[in-house]
Structure 1
Amino acid sequence: MPELPDVAGFRRVAEQATGRQVREVRVHDAQVLRGIGADAFQRALRRRYFAEPRRHGKWLLIATAAAVNASPAPPTLLLHFGMTGSLQWCAHGDELHQHDRLVFDFAAGELRYRDMRKLTGIHLAREQDEVDDLLAELGPDAQEIGTDEFAERLTRTRRRLKPALMDQAVLAGIGNICADEILWRARIDPNRSTTDLGAADLDRLHREMRAMLREAVRVGRVPDGASWLTGHRDEPDRRCPRCSSALRRMRIGGRSTLWCPTCQPA
């Protein structure tokens, strides 16, 4: 599932369209559109210019600019990538992938929204109020939140730590793989209650989260190298890359969770 680092990578893909005018919008599967039909979507974006994209949690937002004297006011594109979504920058004439649901055509190339399962999709907001409504239930972005606010939001209710980290209303952007990686780096058991965390635990957790996200955003995904927990998720004999203990896996909050019982004691 795309998480904050992946969407940061998609943002860099979308930057290739910054300042460029949409020549044509081709909707190959209208099921990825939310709250708008294909014809209206195409009319709203044709001949618009894409502004620099920005990210909040797992959402990517692309404001648009109008041609001179064009009306109505230019809308904002909001993309969510669900379980299998991505953005691809392709040359004209590149073969269309079977899961390319939407194509924005520019003079320099094509920006394609690719998604196999179509669990979420694309919104078009006409006004800033609509953008605010769509993002209203999200907490602060995990890459931007400060230490004090992080501690306050994480500990305001009694619950297990991993589900709290993944709750987008608490913190926007952290998914299953990021949460496991952060907790492993911070040496904290994912089953611990948020109310059992001391100031030192919270400070370390925030510090490791920021460091992990910084590295992962740089490459546009959670790295799966030998020194990362993620790199050992699918091994038949899963071993901790730090202490070589056998890793454990169980479901916490309905999600498959990997951790090291030696490095992350209860």
Structure 2
Amino acid sequence: MPELPDVEGFRKVLVSCAKGRRIRSVDVRDKGVLHGVSVRQLRESMEGRRFTEPERHGKWLLAHTDGPTLLLHFGMTGRLLCARPDDAVETHDRVLFTLSGDHQLRYRDQRKLQGLWLADDDPAVARLLGRQGPDALAVDREEFESALSSRRGHIKTALTDQSVLAGLGNLLADEILWRAGLRPSIRADVLTETERRRLYTHMRRTLRSAVTAGCVPPRDSWLTGHRDDPAPSCPRCGAHLRRSRLAGRGTVWCPRCQPDET
């Protein structure tokens, strides 16, 4: 599932492929990915416009133009790619933006769990993002600690709740908690100040590294690199990793590095 680092990578694709280029045509091959906008409205609003500097907030990509803003969410399987207009179209290419300079921006998504929205102005963008918490890469420590201290549920549930903190998904939450030595099932509101600060520090470090990689990298030194092994072991201490489910999410942790709260 695309998380903050993946979407930051898609933002860079948008910059390199489309920034400053005029939209010559919009080809909607599957209107099922459009939300609150018709095929005709999307074409009339976007064709002839020029892409400007994009932004990212959490898992949302804001593709600004010199007119409206296109908002993209990638759900479980979405991607953004740069192609040439004469490149073969893949089965899951849902919307194609043909641009000046022989470029084509493609929204590709197999499962179609999210998709594209169109906002005419900044207040409309704000309404669409109104339920999003602060961006996990931009949030300061005080805001982060305040958000967690008011949550009574599991710490992993709080980290992956987009209304609390925008951008973290399953892989990142497990990775960050493992690095911070905190079990995913501990309650967010019982963390000490020291534990919240340690969690914030490891979140920042993990995100910076993952953004550089453009994904949550399955490195040998990361929990992510072992969670899908048949008999996964902790890359730090060698203990057998445990699996469970929290709020319906598959969760992996190390019983030695992330001991039970006492």
State the TM-score, normalized to the length of structure 2.
Answer: 0.97
> For 2:255, which of 243, 261, 264 is the aligned residue?
261
- Residue by residue, what CA displacement relative to the aligned partner does 1:61-81 show, whole Å, maximum 9, x if unpaired? 01111xxxxxxxx11110000
Structure-to-structure mapping, 1:70-85, within 5 angstroms: 74-85=67-78
Shift in Å at residue 195 of structure 1? 1.8
* Corresponding residue of 1:45: 46
Query: Residue type of the partner of 2:48?
Result: R
Q: In the alignment, is residue 113 of structure 1 matched against residue 115 of structure 2?
A: no
Matched ranges for 1:67-216 at <5 A: 74-108=67-101, 109-216=103-210
Q: Name the SS of the counterpart of 1:159 in structure 2.
A: coil
Secondary structure in structure 2 of the residue aligned to 1:209: helix
Aligned to 2:5: 5
Q: Cα distance, 1:157 vs. partner? A: 2.4
Unaligned runs of 5+ in 1: 66-73
Equivalent in the alignment of 1:71:
none
Residue 33 of structure 1 deviates from its aligned partner by 0.6
SS in structure 1 of the partner of residue 184 of structure 2? coil
Residue 168 of structure 1 and its aligned partner are, at CA, apart by: 0.5
Alpha-carbon separation, structure 1, partners of 2:39 and 2:80: 19
Deviation >3 Å, runs of 4+: none
How far 1:94 sits from its partner (Å)? 1.1
Q: Distance in 1 between matches of 2:224 and 2:164?
A: 23
The alpha carbon displacement at 1:43 in A equals 1.1
Specify the code of the residue in structure 2 equivalent to 1:2: P
The amino acid of 2:225's aligned partner reads G
CA–CA distance in 2 between the matches of 1:180 and 1:160? 12
CA distance in 1, matches of 2:213, 2:97: 25
3-state SS of the aligned residue for 2:65?
strand
Determine helix, strand or coil for the equivalent of 1:9.
helix
CA deviation map 1:127-184 (0-9, x unaligned): 2111110001110000011111101001112111100111111000011111000000
| Cα drift, residue 107 of structure 1 | 2.5
Aligned equivalents of 1:133, 1:226: Cα separation in 2: 41
Distance (Å, rounded) in 1 between the aligned partners of 2:185 and 2:217: 24
In structure 1, give the amino acid aligned to 2:81. Answer: Q
Query: Deviation digits for residues 73-111 of structure 1, max 9, x if unmatched?
Result: x11110000111010001231110100000010123110
The DSSP-based 3-state class of the residue aligned with 2:231 is coil
**In structure 2, the residue corresponding to 1:192 is in which secondary structure?**
coil
In the alignment, what sits opposite 2:217?
Answer: 223
Once residues 203 and 230 of structure 2 are traced to their aligned partners in structure 1, the CA distance between those partners, rounded to angstroms, is 27
Q: What is the distance in 1 between the residues matched to 2:144 and 2:130?
A: 18
Is 1:54 the counterpart of 2:55 in the alignment? yes
Query: For 1:47 and 1:92, how far apart are their aligned partners in 2?
Result: 17
TM-score by length of 1: 0.96
Instruction: Report the secondary structure of 1:173's partner residue.
Output: coil
SS in 1 for 2:105: strand
C-alpha separation in 1, matches of 2:14 and 2:113: 21
Q: Which segments of 5 or more consecutive residues in structure 2 lack a partner in the other structure? A: none
> How many residues are aligned here?
258
